[in-house]
Structure 1
Amino acid sequence: MYTALNRNWLIRNKLYHIPFWCIYHFTWWSIAIGGPLKAAGVLLFSASIIKFSFYVVFQAIAVYFNLYFLIPRYLEKSRFALYITFLILTIAGTSLMITPGYYLSASFFDQTFSQTYGSFYNCLGEAIPSTIASITLAMSIKLTKNWLQTESRKQLLEKEKLETELKFLKHQFNPHFLFNSINSIFFLIHKNPDMASASLAKFSELLRHQLYECNDQQIPLHKEISYLENFIELEKLRHDTIVETAISLETFYADQMGIAPFILMTFVENAFKHVSSHTDRPNRITIELTQDQQQLTLVVANSTTEQTGNQITHYGGIGLNNVKRRLDLIYPGAYHLDIQNENQQFIVTVQLTLSVLQYSQETQMTAI
């Protein structure tokens, strides 16, 4: 919604554009009159500065009205008929608002309007093409800027994806994780063969997911949830201390929704990594995953000690700043991250706006 806050922000951050529009119109003025020196003399020592100001002010208003109101509300939402209609009205209205500048300029020359500029239609004949040119130029600059930002973000995302995959693999497939998991399963073989068999299956699924199912930028939500469940069960199995866990993973349309791989895993892993090791009171981990339409919310809480509470700054071995950066790249403007560390409890709440999964050809072949 285009609120007063948006307008204030726009005014504060676009004031530096005023010199650009002055130079832009002065350039056209110089071409029309026959040189920059002659144009500067006319503007500084005649009433033509009034007409010039009307062009600068009202065309700038039209440009930003188009960029920050018409385009987001109509063009980006594919409401083309309404956009074209309102754009034509904007051009016409701007041209009409420019024409009083001609009348004021003529009055300062002590001449009638018809003696100075001919007719009202002559003024419109100058104002309308000039307004169209200004709006077209601004749209071209804006679209080029957006395209460059999108390409830059894609390149950063690809680089970040490769780096993240390497860091996750390096962290997850370290000897400590592998040997502890395998040893836990080994001891279960004689103690509880059924549990050992189930744990081995989970361990196998965990490795398969990391090796083969995370190559796309997005994976089905249900696969990420299955990975979380397997990881949680293995962590509970191999954890050295007694930990009380409360797990709730409730989602809907998990087959249709897509999510970036490992984006939730980091927070869950951190809870097990930094959970307290009290001997006189319970050690708790709570994981709650809920979904409301396309809004996915994960709340992870773990008990901590005073010594470890302030050290929880490195999630999953890649660092809190890298996690936020990955969220910024993958879900720009579509996530909320809240971190609280108080009363010997560390709570992370992350909300993501998911999108419908777009299956790649490789994913479709795998599914078949």
Structure 2
Amino acid sequence: MSKKTILFHVLFWVLLMLSFAISEWNYRNTFIDAIVFEFLFLPIRMIAVYINWLVFIPKFLYTNKHTHYATAIIVLLSVLAITQRVFVLYYGYPQFFPEWTVGQHIHVFKFTSLVQVALIIATPLAITTGWKLFVDLKEKEQFTKVLEKEKTDSELKYLKSQINPHFLFNTLNNIYGLSLENSKKTSGLILKLSDFLSFSLYESNQKLIPLEKEIALMNDFIALEKSRFEDRVKVVLKLSKNKTSDILIPPLILVPFVENAFKHSLKNETEMATIHIHLSVSEKNLNFAVTNSKPLDSGILSKNKGLGLINIKKRLAIIYEDNYSLHINEQPDSYTIKLHIKTA
């Protein structure tokens, strides 16, 4: 037991005795008599409190054996009340309050007196029981919060670890396709890949990043994809004119939606694909919309099985809980996601 804990217990009993002595003062000749009277009951009260604290509460109350607990308390109070009656009648009162016993017949088992003594003992027992239940409940809640946070952090790290390799895998495929053609663009794309790796190593592990960094990554990704597909895709990008540096979001929370749009608008598509991206921000809200054309024979999006998209949904639910909304609208020739986040 630490010194802090010992000091706390000492202060508790001192304050308890002083409180009871003050209330007892009206029935005694002096305040000293009231203090002495409380001292006579202090040992038996401490025995009751610590037996209950250390044995009965963990063994019966915390295991939902309420009947056993009530029985144990009644037996304990009965035994201690009889013990205290013997102590005060044969030692305490004759020693400190002899006038109380002169000419009196000693009746240890007088029912009303036993009940009175039992109540005197039970008062601090009830106070400490309530306190222990309150403290233990708070500790349990705190422990549960810590476990939930650790679980959430672990899940987020797991989801990120899936997103980043998935994202990089697609980028490497892009570069591989160009390298087969001996394209002069390959070196530039490798440089962009280096930027992605740098982001993955140093930025994505952060809980939040400035929105402008996510926008920069999104612009790089769009440039990379357009370099690969050249005239096969048209991208219309509209970004908010409001200041974005003060808005913080989780890393890689927007880019996967853009990646998903490129992936599925160009899959099995021989004609021009179009992608519309719109990002607007206000003081407390972020709105992000991505619409991509879709080949008529594509059935992939309707099943919504994209790894990146599934993981983003999980991350949004964990991070923002009820402070976001994600709507998906699929038409025969288009696919739209609309994301709204309350940023404050």
TM-score (norm 2): 0.57
Task: Tell me the amino acid that sits aligned with residue 220 of structure 1.
Answer: P
Contact 1:296 / 1:354 at 8 angstroms: preserved in 2? yes
The answer to whether structure 1 residue 238 and structure 2 residue 216 are counterparts is no
- Stretches of structure 1 lacking an aligned partner (at least 5 in a row): 1-19, 39-112, 187-195, 356-368
Equivalent residue, structure 1, for 2:338: 349
Q: What's the CA shift for 1:178? A: 4.4
Q: 1:99-125: CA deviations, max 9, x gaps? A: xxxxxxxxxxxxxx9997799999876
Q: Secondary structure at the match of 1:173?
A: helix
The answer to whether structure 1 residue 207 and structure 2 residue 159 are counterparts is no
Contact 1:117 / 1:123 at 8 angstroms: preserved in 2? no
Q: Secondary structure at the match of 1:350?
A: strand
Equivalent residue, structure 1, for 2:178: 180
Contact 1:184 / 1:238 at 8 angstroms: preserved in 2? no
Classify 1:114/1:171 alpha carbon distance in 2 versus 1 (closer, same or farther; 3 Å).
farther
Q: Distance in 2 between matches of 1:149 and 1:178?
A: 42
Classify 1:249/1:178 alpha carbon distance in 2 versus 1 (closer, same or farther; 3 Å).
farther
Q: Secondary structure at the match of 1:34?
A: helix
The answer to whether structure 1 residue 31 and structure 2 residue 31 are counterparts is no
Q: Secondary structure at the match of 2:279?
A: strand
Greater C-alpha radius of gyration: 2
Equivalent residue, structure 2, for 1:293: 283
Q: Secondary structure at the match of 1:288?
A: strand
Alignment length (residue pairs): 244
Aligned sequence identity (%): 25
Q: Secondary structure at the match of 1:213?
A: helix
Q: Distance in 1 between matches of 2:210 and 2:156?
A: 19
Q: Distance in 1 between matches of 2:192 and 2:220?
A: 6
Residues 90-169 of structure 1 correspond to what in structure 2 (within 5 A)? 128-169=127-168
- Stretches of structure 2 lacking an aligned partner (at least 5 in a row): 1-60, 79-111
Contact 2:296 / 2:332 at 8 angstroms: preserved in 1? no
Classify 1:123/1:173 alpha carbon distance in 2 versus 1 (closer, same or farther; 3 Å).
same
Deviates more, 1:264-273 or 1:208-217: 208-217
Q: What's the CA shift for 1:147? A: 1.0
Equivalent residue, structure 2, for 1:55: none
Q: 1:174-194: CA deviations, max 9, x gaps? A: 2x44433896963xxxxxxxx
Q: 1:57-78: CA deviations, max 9, x gaps? A: xxxxxxxxxxxxxxxxxxxxxx
Q: Secondary structure at the match of 1:308?
A: coil
Equivalent residue, structure 2, for 1:336: 325
Residues 246-261 of structure 1 correspond to what in structure 2 (within 5 A)? 246-250=236-240, 252-261=242-251
Q: What's the CA shift for 1:348? A: 0.8
